[in-house]
Amino acid sequence: MLNYILRRLMIVPLLLLGVTLLIFSIISLMNPLDRAQALFPAKLENRMRVRDYSGLVEKYGLDDPVYLQYWHWMVGREDPETGEIQGGVLYGNLGWSQVGRTGVLEVIGKRGPATLELILWSAIPMTVLSVWMGVKAAVNHNKPVDHFLRISAITGWSIPNFVFGFLMIMLFTVELGWFSPGRIGLDFKTVVQSDEFVNYTQMYTVDALLNGRFDVFVDVLKHLILPLVTLAVANWAFLFRVTRFSMLEVLNQDYIMVARSKGLPEEQVIRGHAFPNALNSVITVGGLTVVGFFNNAVITEVVFNYPGLGAFLAESATSLDLVSVAGVTLVSSFILIMTNLFVDVLYGIVDPRVRLD
Amino acid sequence: MTFGLILKNLIKKPTAIFSLTLLLIFGAVAVFAPVIAPPSETAMDEQMMLQGSFNRSPQPPSEEHVWGTTVEQYDIFYGVVWGTRTAFQIGIGIAFFTSLIGLIIGSVSGYFGGWIDELLMRVTEIFQAFPFFLIVIILTSVLQYFYERGEEGIMLASTKILAFVTFGQDFFETIPPSRLVFLVSMIAIIMFGWMEIARVIRGNILVIKSSEYALAARTIGAKNSRILFRHLVPNALFPLFVLAPMNIGTYVLTFAALSFLGIGVPEGYAEWGHMLSLAHDWLLSFTDYPYLIIYPGAAIILFVLSWNLLGDAMRDILDPRTK
């Protein structure tokens, strides 16, 4: 087991190296001004007036050999005049964001919790529901329930996220007037920003409960509900299909036949024998599910005007603020790599066979 | 299983018939687009939507614009019709290149094994370490960035090849600027879209490599390239028939999402996602402007749905495990 975990761990630095190299090569294609902002959290005043790059090139060593620049980007670079260390991705300096008007990492710290809140609220019910439906469909293979669920999965899979979001807004915001876009109502925004309200996690629902403000909790949840449904609809089909498929595969195995032929009730066969084994392969797609949530969170946040990381990314991309985009991508890749590591280790624990290969 | 047999099984399934019919209709619309919605004679690029008189707010359907117009007076009917062509170009163009790259990397990796396999698979893993849509966004905006700065020379070589496959354009013709933006967005998706195919093909080659007919070919002294391309690759190809239709749906959706964000195509390009992004600001008064969303929205859902249904039917036919 230890051997297996070590082997998985060894891949991580390699992946991180590859990811940072790719992002770095994208950055190094930019002009000196943008590069200085990307490599060092240097707030450069009066962008428009900077015409002559030679000072910048010298100040930030932008004409150093490429490997040296990469090294400086990773661990920071000593300023030749003042001797202070500037930059360094490893120390969390992801550059200066023009769109956020502050360091990229600060923006991520400020906006990340909003996105995390949205994803968590969406992912937990979605996972349980889609796995349950996957099992249901597989058990009733080729019966009406199965056909219905399959068709709805494939239809849900085909609806663009933003079109679904549009439909939700049309129905629930415009026609019925139940929910409004954004993250929190104006009245409650002042509550959240006031001094008595302690922001433990920056996730409003959690903070509201910790502060004992139930009215805030309800208001935030009312803002969350449309985006979280949209996000769930965009992602459930994938998990459903994986569960259904692996469940079907398991149900064809010999040991299921044995369990049935010794007279075990069908309920127990499904629950005790088939489901736990089908769950193994569902765990393996955990990383892909996270990717799905990242992907769809961008569009969902834009549609619902939700002030999360995805909306920030979209805004940066349209205003060609590559430093911000690169920073967000770097952080999300890091999260993804860690998720995959976690999934691999978990898989090694639940399924002893994979440890041996 | 031969193609005839696949087709015979396919027309037994109602969902497959439904999807094939829809695709045929879409195909006909794409081919006959110049007849159905004739472009204006002064237009520089027929893929750009017709633009009516200058009037900010969208206009309801009228004699002149049968499905109404969007903001900035782009004709919705024209956009949906020519958008069909765009959707086919996106889907098939990207799927062709990702399949090709995946096929080459997967088969080389699986066949030669050893350090080549190790290297190629690690590179694949690095490409997969990025969240797909996020890395496509960054790549698209990087390429747009050069374009905005007039440094498009960097990407010209690759766009020429892509333009040849997608539009059938001559290598020596210059690409119109509106299409250049479109093509670089496709390149971004291609660069990060091949990994799954490569892995599946590699897995298949590994299985087939140890089969008797491959061994037989080796015994009679066939060269590596001959064994690989004559015996292994044709037999490892089948997963592509399932993956490609599904992928086409995903590519069209991804591209639509890109242009919804405003970075996939230039303004006015006949692309469904872009048309829907033009509707975003008018959403809260939707009851007055339903036509902004219904036509392009329905087009994109039906198009993607029919590819997905086709892929699903293919899986049922080709994958014995789902029987």
Question: For A215-243, what is the mean pLDDT?
Answer: 86
CA-based nearest residue in chain B for residue A173:
B284
**Mutant choice from B133, B295, B323 vs A, greatest count of A C-beta within 10 A:** B133
The beta-carbon neighbor of A158 closest among B261, B280, B308 is: B308
Out of B73-87, B123-137, B144-158, B308-322, least confident range = B144-158
Percent of chain B with pLDDT over 90: 15
Q: Is A357's pLDDT higher than 60?
A: no
Do residue A160 and residue B126 have CB atoms under 8 angstroms apart? no
pLDDT at residue A93 above 70?
Answer: yes
Domain-embedded: residue B165: yes
B54 has a pLDDT exceeding 80: no
Q: Is residue B132 part of a domain?
A: yes
Q: Is the pLDDT of residue A326 over 90?
A: no
Residue B18 included in any domain: no
What is the per-residue pLDDT across A51-80, written as a single tens digit (0 to 9) for each? 566 666 666 667 777 787 788 777 777 666
pLDDT of residue A308: 87
- Does residue B77 fall inside a structural domain? no
Q: Which of A29-38, A46-55, A194-203, A345-354 has the lowest mean pLDDT?
A: A46-55
Q: Is residue B229 part of a domain?
A: yes
For residue B269, is it within any domain? yes
Q: Which of A34-43, A162-171, A316-325 has the lowest mean pLDDT?
A: A34-43
Angstroms from B129 CA to nearest CA on chain A: 6
Q: What is the pLDDT of residue B320?
A: 62
CA distance, residue B201 to nearest chain A CA (Å): 19
B64-94, pLDDT tens digit by residue?
777 777 777 788 888 888 889 889 999 999 9
Asked whether residue B67 is assigned to any structural domain, the reply reads: no
Instruction: Provide the shortest C-alpha distance from residue B223 to chain A (in Å).
Output: 31
Split at pLDDT 50, 70, 90, the class of B302 is: very high
By Cβ distance, the residue of B130, B249, B263 closest to A317 is B263
More confident residue, A188 or A24: A24
Question: What pLDDT, in 10s, does the model give residues A180-207?
Answer: 777 777 677 777 677 777 777 777 777 7
CATH number at residue B149: 1.10.3720
| Chain A nearest C-alpha distance from B146 (Å) | 8
- Name which of B124, B141, B301 to mutate to probe chain A: the one with the most chain A Cβ atoms within 10 A of its Cβ: B141
How would residue B255 be classed by pLDDT, with cut points 50, 70 and 90? very high
pLDDT bucket at A321, cuts 50 / 70 / 90? confident
Give the 3-state secondary structure of chain A: CHHHHHHHHHHHHHHHHHHHHHHHHHHCCCCHHHHHHHHCCCCCCCHHHCCCCHHHHHHHCCCCCHHHHHHHHHHCEECCCCCCEECCHHHCCCCEECCCCEEHHHHHHHHHHHHHHHHHHHHHHHHHHHHHHHHHHHHCCCCHHHHHHHHHHHHHHHCCHHHHHHHHHHHHHHHCCCCCCCCCCHHHHHHHHCCCCCCCCCCHHHHHHHCCCHHHHHHHHHHHHHHHHHHHHHHHHHHHHHHHHHHHHHHCCHHHHHHHHCCCCHHHHHHHHHHHHHHHHHHHCHHHHHHHHHHHHHHHHHHCCCCCHHHHHHHHHHCCCHHHHHHHHHHHHHHHHHHHHHHHHHHHHHCHHHHHC
**Which of A154, A155, A329 is facing B138, going by the closest CB pair?**
A329
Residue with tokens 């687009």: B33
Question: Helix or strand or coil: residue B51?
Answer: strand
Q: Residue A162 in contact with residue A299, Cβ under 8 Å?
A: yes
| pTM metric for this prediction | 0.88
Chain segment B184-229, per-residue pLDDT in tens = 888 889 989 899 999 988 988 888 888 888 888 888 888 888 888 8
For residue B130, the chain A residues in CB contact (below 8 A) are: 19, 22, 329, 332-333, 336
Please tell me the predicted confidence (pLDDT) of residue B148: 67
The partner residue sitting opposite A157, judged by closest CB among B257, B263, B308, is B308
pLDDT value of position A190: 73
* Residue of chain B minimizing CA distance to A174: B284
Residue B81 has which token pair? 């019709």
| Full domain range(s) for residue B237 | 84-290
| Cβ–Cβ below 8 Å for A163 and B286 | no
Greater pLDDT, B226 or A17 = A17
**Mean per-residue pLDDT of chain A:** 81
Instruction: Confirm or reject contact between B294 and chain A (CB < 8 A).
Output: no
- What is the separation of C-alpha B295 from the centre of its chain, rounded to a whole number of angstroms? 21
Query: Which range has the top average pLDDT, A189-203, A257-271, B29-43, B139-153?
Result: A257-271
Question: Per the structure, how many domains does chain B have?
Answer: 1
Q: pLDDT of B221-230, one tens digit each?
A: 888 888 888 8
Residue B21 counted as domain residue? no
Query: A48 pLDDT band (50/70/90 cuts)?
Result: very low
Percent of chain B exceeding pLDDT 70 equals 89
User: Per-residue pLDDT tens for A4-14?
Assistant: 888 888 888 88
Nearest CA in chain A to B266: A318
Is the Cβ of B263 closer than 8 Å to some Cβ of chain A?
yes
Task: Give the chain B residue nearest A21 (alpha carbons).
Answer: B126
Which is more confidently placed, B320 or B189?
A: B189
Name the band, by pLDDT with cuts 50, 70 and 90, for residue B299.
very high
pLDDT over threshold 90, residue B14: no
B41, pLDDT greater than 50: yes
pLDDT higher at A82 or B314: B314
pLDDT at B315 over 80: yes
Q: Which ipTM did the prediction report?
A: 0.85
Cα–Cα dist A109/A112, whole Å: 5
Query: Could you read off the pLDDT of A337-346 as tens digits, one per residue?
Result: 998 888 888 8
Q: How large is the average pLDDT for residues B139-153?
A: 72
